[in-house]
Structure 1
Amino acid sequence: MDSIKLIKTSVYNVYKNLAEYLKSILILQAISFIITAPIITFIFHRLLKRLGLSSITENDFTEIFKSPVTIGMLLVLILVFLFFVYYEIGYYFLLAHYQNTEKNYTFRGIIKDLNKKAKYFLSFQAIYFFVYFLLILPLASLGLNAGLIKGIRIPNFITDELLKNQYGIIIYVLFIVAILYFSLRLIFAVPFFVIEKDITIKEAVKRSFKESRGKLIKTFFTLLFIIGLHTLVMALFVIVLFVPIILVELISSKLAPFFAAFLLTVIQWFLFIGYGLLQVIISEAIYILAFKKENGKLKVNLKKDKDKIIKNYKKPFIFSGNKPIVKKLIVIFLISISIYNYFVITEPIYLPKTKILAHRGYIKGGVENSIGSLKAAAKFNPDYVELDIQETKDNEFVVFHDSDLSRLAGRDETIKDLTLEEIKNIDIEAEGFTDKIPSLKEFIRVSKELGVNLLVEIKPTGNESTNMVENLVNLLKEEGVHKDYLVQSLDEEIILKVKRISPEIKTGYVIGFNIGSLPKTEADFIVMEEFSINNKILKEAREKEKDLFVWTVNEEDLIRKYLNLNVDGIITDIPGDAVEIRNSFEEEKTLLTRLRWILNN
C-alpha cells in the first residue's frame, strides 16, 4: 500500500467512526485534566516537601538521589507518568484495531485489555517503555503526542547555544537525526505490545526494530504528509473564520467584540478537536503500517459499508444512548468560554513596563560581549545590555562568556590562566566580525558614553579569588554605576555576597531549569529560562514582589507573549525587534490582532 492510499485509508477509518473518536478525545482529555494531572502534581509536591524545597532546579536536582525515600518517590512519579502515557497512546491503537477488525468493544473493555499488560510496568520491563518514551519525543512534536508530553521539549537556550557555531550545528543535527532514526525504529512497539496478547514490552521493542526495517522513509514521509495536510486544513479554517471578524468590525464596532468572542471560542474548540484528531489519524496510520502483510494487503478487513460497520459496534462510554445532560454541559461550557473570551478581548492594552535587555550586546552587529556588539546594541536603545564577566589570572575582570578561548579565538587556553594584558591582545571572531576581548572597566566606560546601563552576569569557574566579589563591588562603586547597573549569577551564594557587601546593588538569581514553585531567594529579581516560565510562576512572583526576567527569547511571537504577560524583563538576541514590538504595544489594535495574540498564548 503506497503512502497516499495509506493516508486515505487512515482518514476514511477515522471519518466513518468520527463520533466514537470525538467521544474518546473528550473523555481522555477530561481524565488527563481531572485525574492524571492532579495525581502527578500531588506526588511531585510530596516529593518537594520531603526534600524541603519549593522547586527543583539544576542546582538541587541531585538532592533527590541522596535518600532512598525520595528515590522511591521519584520512581513512583515516573511510573505513574508512564502509566498514563501508556493508557492514552495504547487506547487509540486498540480502538483502531477493534474498528478495523469489526470487533465489538466498549470503553471499559479497552481499559481492561490495557490493564492486562500494565503488570509489565511493575517489573524491569518498564525500563524499555521509559527508553521508548524518551525516543518518541520527536514524534510527539509530529503529532503522536499524549496530552502529558505535549510540553516536553529541549529548552531553547540549549539549542540556541548549539546553533551559534558550526560544530554545535553539526552536533545538534546529528543528535536529532539519531533520535529520529531510533524513534522511527520503535514506532510500532506500542501497537504490537497492546494488541498482541502474549508479547512483552521487550519483545514488542525487538519486533518493532524488525518490522520497521525498510519502512523508515515511507513511515517518515507518511507522517510528515499527514502533518502538512492537517496544518493546511487547520490554517485555512482559521483564516476563513477571521474574515467575518474583519467585516463585522468594519460594520459595527459595538457588536464586533461579542461576535469575535463567539468565533474565538469556535476556533479554540476546533483547534482542540483538530489536534486530537491528528493524534487519532497518526495512530491509525501507524496501526496500518504495523500490521501490513508482505503482499500489500492488511491483516484487518477494511470494508467500506459504513452502515454495516456501525451496526456491529456497541455504543461505548457515557455518551451512549440519549443523554441530553452531556449536550447541555457542553453548551454551558462553550457559553462560559465565550463570556471569558469577551472580557479578554475587550481588556484595555497598556504599554508594558517590561525591560528589554540585549543578550551579550547585539551578536548580529559584533562579536558577543565585545565593544562592537555593545555599540550595535546601543543603537536600539534597550534598557540594559547583558554581559558576562570572568576573573583573570591577575584578578582583573574581562567581558567573556566561555571559560576557555577555543570557540571564539581558536586557542586552547582558559581565561583564568592568562593576565588581563595577555587577554586584551587576543583577537576573537564570530559571524564575520572580529574584535578584542574588553576589560569590564573598558566596557563600563564605553557604556557610559553610549548612555546604556548594563546587566553584569558573574560567570564563576570555581577558580575565583577569595575577594572576587569585593573587587567587583568596588569597581562598580568607583565607576559610580552600582545603583544603576544590575548584577546576576547562576551561583546564588555569589549574589547573596554581593547583596551583603552592597545592599543598594540590585541582584538577580539566574535559574536555567525549574520545576515547581518560584524558587526562594533573597535576590531582588529572578532570571528564569523561557522553558520554565508559566502562569503559576508569574503569579507567585507578583505575590512575593520579585521581579521576573525571562531568557533567552528570540522569537517575535514569544516576545509578544511575555510583553502581554508584562514580565519585568526580556533578555533577547534581537533587542531591536523587541523594543519595536514593545513600543507599538499600546497602539490601537484590531480585534484580529488581539485574537492572534490570544491564540498564540
Structure 2
Amino acid sequence: MKEIFQEVHRETRVFTHHWFQYLALFIGVDLLIQLIWIPIFRIVTTVVLQAGEIPFVSYQNLVLIIRHHPLVVLALLVELLGLLLVVYGQFALVLLGIQQIRQGQFRIRQLLRTVVHQLASLRPGSLGVLLVYFLLVIPFADLVFRTPLLAKVQIPQFILDYLTRNSLLVTLLALLYALVLVLGIRLIDALPLMICQGQRPRLALATSWRSTGHRQWWPLLARIIVIGVLATAVMVFFYALTVGTQFGADRLLGAGAYYFAVGDLLVIQLGSEFLAAWAGTITVAILFKSLLIDQPNARVKTSRWGRVTIAIALGVVIIVSVIGNALYLSGGWDRRPVTISHRGVADENGVQNTIPALQKTHRLHPNYVEMDVHETKDHQFVVLHDENLAELTGVDKTPHQLTLRQLTRLTARENGHRAKIASFDDYLRAADHLHQHLLVEVKTTPQDSPGMLRRFARRYGTTLVRHHNQVHSLNYRVVKQLRKLDPRLTVLYVQPYNFTYPNTAASGYSMEYSTLTDDFIDLAHLQGKIVYAWTVNDEVVMKQMMYKNVDGVITDNLVELNQAIADYEHQQSYGRRLLNYIMVVPTRAEFAL
C-alpha cells in the first residue's frame, strides 16, 4: 500500500508540471465527443430510421426490423462499427496525448494525424474483438477510460431492482460482476498495447492476459481502488471547501453573494475537470508505465496554433458555463415536475391499484395517480398490474380467465393492508369524486380481444379527456391506435430502455430513469412532447430528474418526492444551490453545454 501512495505522489508531481496541457487534453476530448460525434451519431440514427419508416427501436420490434428491414440493419451495423472506431480514437487521443506531454512534444495536429493513421490501419476483423473488449473493460475501468459514447452499455435500474429481490439471482449477479471485473482487469493492458505499440487486437489481448496471469492482476486492481478512493476524498474536500466558502459569502456579501456564487460554481466545474484530468493521468501513468515512452524532465512545447486552439476552446467553455451558472443560480432553469404516484400507493400506504389506497394517496396531493388496467374475460376492464392474481390474492388465475364480477369479489393483500379488486369504472368514479387526475396504463396480453382498444376508447375516451387524465402503455400498438381512435387523448409511450430517440405518434414518453438522458428530454421538448421518469424512489435521483427538466416523476415514495421538490425549489441560499448542483450533477462535473 505504501508503494502505491509513493507512486501516486510521484506522478502527481509530474502532473503538476504540465497541468494546463493535461486539462486542455481532457476537456478537448470531452468537447470533441459531446459537441461533434454524439450529435453526428444521433443524426445518422434518426435519418436511417426515418428512411426505413421505423418509429423506434425496442425489444418489441427488434425481430421485425431484422426480418423486414435488412438495409436498415446493415446501416445500423455500419454505424456501430463507426462508433467503435470513434471510441478507439477517443482512447488513443488520451493515451497518446499523455505520452506526448510527458515527452515534451504536445502537438495537436501531430496527435490527430497519429490517431487517424492508427484508425486507418485497423483491420475489419479487429472491430469485433474491440467490441468485446469495450463491453468487458469500460464498466470497470471508467476511472481510466471515460466515454459517454458507451453510456447505454448498462443494465436498467428496474431490472437490477427485480434481480435483487431474489437471493439466488443476487448471488448469480454478484458472481457475474466479479467474473467481468476479473476479465476486465486482466485485459486492461490490451488497448494501450494496441495504441502505444501498434499490436493487433488479438495479440494485444493475449499479451495482456499473459502479463496479468498468476494473480498479477491484483496489484492493478489495488492501484485502481486506491486511486479511486483518493480521488473521491480529494473531490469531497474540494466540494466542502467551495460550498463552505459560498455559505460564508451568503452571510457576508448580501446581494453580491449571487455574483460570488456564479464564480464559485465555475470554480467547482473547472476544479472537477482538473481533478478528473489528474485522476485519469496518474492512473494511466501508473498502470501503463511500462508502455509509455517517458522523458520526465522534458518541457512541453506547444505550437502557436495549438495554444490559440486551446485558448479559444477554454474561453468558450468558460463563457457558456458562466451563462448557464447565472441562469441556474437565479432559478431560470427551475421547472416543477408533476408528481405521479406509482400504482396508486405512496410509501406502502395500501394495496396497489385499489380504491382505499387511492383515497389515502390523494391526501398527499399528487398531480396524477398512475394505475393499471387489464381486460377481463367478459371484455370489461379491471384495475390490476400483474398478469396473474396469485401474488396479491392467492388465486392462480389471469384476468382473462375471470369475469369482472368474479374479479371484484377477490380481496388483495399487500403491505399489511387488504382491499377489494376494483373495476376501472369504480376506480374512475372514485378519482372523479376526489378530483384526482389519473395516468392510466393500458396493459396488454396475447389473450386480449380484437376490439379491446376500440371499446376502451369508446367507453372512456370522453371521460378521460374531460377529467384531464392521461394514458400510457408499453405496447406501441396501443399508443398508435388510441391516438387514432381519439386524437384528444394524451397517450404516452412507456420505454424501459433508451436505445435511441423515437419518432412516434405518442404525446410523450414515460422513460425508465437510469437510461434517460438530457439529449432525449431536449429533443422531446423541441417536438412538444412530455417526458416522465419512472420509477424514481431516491431523493438524489429525484433532483437529478428535476435538473434534467423532466415533466413528471413517477414514484413509490410520494412524500419524499414532495420534499425533494420543495427542497429544490425553495433553496434558502446560493450555498444550498451549489450543494444541490453537486448532489444532482454526476460526480465528474459536466459543463452547461
- TM-score of the alignment, normalized to the shorter chain, above 0.5: yes
Structure 1 SS opposite 2:146 = coil
Q: Is residue 2:472 matched to residue 1:491?
A: no
> Which structure 2 segments of 5+ residues have no match?
586-593
Superposed, which structure 2 residues align to 1:388-399 within 5 Å? 388-399=372-383
Q: Distance in 2 between matches of 1:127 and 1:170?
A: 30
Q: 1:235 to 1:502 in 2, by over 3 A?
A: same
1:356 corresponds to which of 313, 317, 339? 339
Alignment-mate amino acid for residue 91 of structure 2: I
Counterpart of 2:183 in structure 1 is: 182
Could you tell me how far 1:129 is from its partner in structure 2?
Answer: 0.7
Q: 1:45 to 1:504 in 2, by over 3 A?
A: closer
Q: Is residue 2:241 matched to residue 1:258?
A: no
Counterpart of 1:456 in structure 2 is: 440
Q: 1:516 to 1:301 in 2, by over 3 A?
A: closer
Could you tell me how far 1:166 is from its partner in structure 2?
Answer: 4.7
Could you tell me how far 1:454 is from its partner in structure 2?
Answer: 2.8
Q: Distance in 2 between matches of 1:110 and 1:558?
A: 39
| 2:532/2:554 contact within 8 Å kept | yes
Could you tell me how far 1:465 is from its partner in structure 2?
Answer: 1.3
Could you tell me how far 1:378 is from its partner in structure 2?
Answer: 3.4
Q: Is residue 2:383 matched to residue 1:382?
A: no
Q: Distance in 2 between matches of 1:96 and 1:558?
A: 35
TM-score, length-scaled by structure 2: 0.82
Counterpart of 2:301 in structure 1 is: 315
Counterpart of 2:130 in structure 1 is: 129
Counterpart of 1:402 in structure 2 is: 386
| 1:187/1:286 contact within 8 Å kept | no
Counterpart of 1:245 in structure 2 is: 246
Alignment-mate amino acid for residue 245 of structure 2: P
Q: Distance in 2 between matches of 1:530 and 1:536?
A: 13
Counterpart of 1:294 in structure 2 is: none
Counterpart of 2:542 in structure 1 is: 559
Counterpart of 1:595 in structure 2 is: 578
Structure 2 SS opposite 1:455 = strand
Counterpart of 2:76 in structure 1 is: 74
Q: Distance in 1 between matches of 2:560 and 2:47?
A: 43
Superposed, which structure 2 residues align to 1:489-528 within 5 Å? 489-499=473-483, 505-517=489-501, 519-521=503-505, 523-528=506-511
Q: 1:390 to 1:335 in 2, by over 3 A?
A: closer
Q: Distance in 2 between matches of 1:201 and 1:336?
A: 40
Q: Distance in 1 between matches of 2:308 and 2:104?
A: 28
Q: Is residue 2:271 matched to residue 1:270?
A: yes
Q: Distance in 2 between matches of 1:547 and 1:301?
A: 52
Query: Which segment is superposed worse, 483-492 or 432-441?
Result: 432-441
2:452 corresponds to which of 462, 465, 468? 468
Query: Which segment is superposed worse, 156-165 or 102-111?
Result: 102-111
Q: Is residue 2:559 matched to residue 1:576?
A: yes
Counterpart of 1:287 in structure 2 is: 288
Q: 1:12 to 1:421 in 2, by over 3 A?
A: farther
Counterpart of 2:234 in structure 1 is: 233
Alignment-mate amino acid for residue 400 of structure 1: L
Structure 2 SS opposite 1:74 = helix
| 1:357/1:569 contact within 8 Å kept | yes
Structure 2 SS opposite 1:310 = coil
Could you tell me how far 1:553 is from its partner in structure 2?
Answer: 2.3
Structure 1 SS opposite 2:365 = coil
Q: Distance in 2 between matches of 1:134 and 1:477?
A: 46
Alignment-mate amino acid for residue 224 of structure 2: L
Q: Distance in 1 between matches of 2:232 and 2:554?
A: 31
Q: 1:399 to 1:285 in 2, by over 3 A?
A: farther
Q: 1:3 to 1:310 in 2, by over 3 A?
A: closer
Superposed, which structure 2 residues align to 1:151-170 within 5 Å? 152-164=153-165, 166=167, 169-170=170-171
Structure 2 SS opposite 1:126 = helix
Q: Distance in 2 between matches of 1:58 and 1:283?
A: 38
Q: Is residue 2:209 matched to residue 1:209?
A: yes
Quote the RMSD (CA, aligned, Å). Answer: 4.0
Q: Is residue 2:526 matched to residue 1:546?
A: no
| 1:265/1:334 contact within 8 Å kept | yes
Alignment-mate amino acid for residue 386 of structure 2: D
Could you tell me how far 1:130 is from its partner in structure 2?
Answer: 0.3
Superposed, which structure 2 residues align to 1:440-451 within 5 Å? 440-441=424-425, 443-444=427-428, 447=431
Q: Distance in 1 between matches of 2:507 and 2:39?
A: 32
Could you tell me how far 1:91 is from its partner in structure 2?
Answer: 4.0
Q: Distance in 2 between matches of 1:329 and 1:98?
A: 20
Q: Distance in 2 between matches of 1:563 and 1:169?
A: 31
Structure 2 SS opposite 1:255 = helix
Counterpart of 1:296 in structure 2 is: none
Alignment-mate amino acid for residue 29 of structure 1: D
Could you tell me how far 1:15 is from its partner in structure 2?
Answer: 4.1
Structure 2 SS opposite 1:250 = helix
Alignment-mate amino acid for residue 207 of structure 1: T
Cα shift readout 1:138-157 (whole Å, capped 9, x = no counterpart): 22555531353356533333
Q: Distance in 2 between matches of 1:300 and 1:511?
A: 45
Alignment-mate amino acid for residue 310 of structure 1: N
Could you tell me how far 1:9 is from its partner in structure 2?
Answer: 4.9
Q: Distance in 1 between matches of 2:342 and 2:64?
A: 31
| 2:28/2:313 contact within 8 Å kept | no
TM-score, length-scaled by structure 1: 0.81
Structure 2 SS opposite 1:357 = strand
Q: Distance in 2 between matches of 1:496 and 1:328?
A: 48
Could you tell me how far 1:384 is from its partner in structure 2?
Answer: 2.1
Alignment-mate amino acid for residue 71 of structure 2: V
| 2:262/2:329 contact within 8 Å kept | yes
Counterpart of 2:400 in structure 1 is: 416
Counterpart of 2:44 in structure 1 is: 43
Cα shift readout 1:458-477 (whole Å, capped 9, x = no counterpart): 11112101232355456648
Structure 2 SS opposite 1:403 = coil
Query: Which segment is superposed worse, 330-339 or 67-76?
Result: 330-339
| 1:530/1:551 contact within 8 Å kept | yes
Q: 1:254 to 1:150 in 2, by over 3 A?
A: same
Q: Distance in 2 between matches of 1:63 and 1:589?
A: 53
Cα shift readout 1:17-69 (whole Å, capped 9, x = no counterpart): 54442342243234334543344344334323422356545544456534443
Counterpart of 1:305 in structure 2 is: none
Q: Distance in 1 between matches of 2:568 and 2:477?
A: 38
Query: Which segment is superposed worse, 270-279 or 491-500?
Result: 491-500
Q: 1:242 to 1:82 in 2, by over 3 A?
A: same
Q: Distance in 2 between matches of 1:46 and 1:453?
A: 38
Q: Is residue 2:220 matched to residue 1:219?
A: yes
Q: Distance in 1 between matches of 2:222 and 2:544?
A: 33
Could you tell me how far 1:363 is from its partner in structure 2?
Answer: 5.7
| 2:370/2:438 contact within 8 Å kept | yes
| 2:89/2:115 contact within 8 Å kept | yes
| 1:404/1:414 contact within 8 Å kept | yes
Q: 1:422 to 1:7 in 2, by over 3 A?
A: farther
Counterpart of 1:85 in structure 2 is: 87
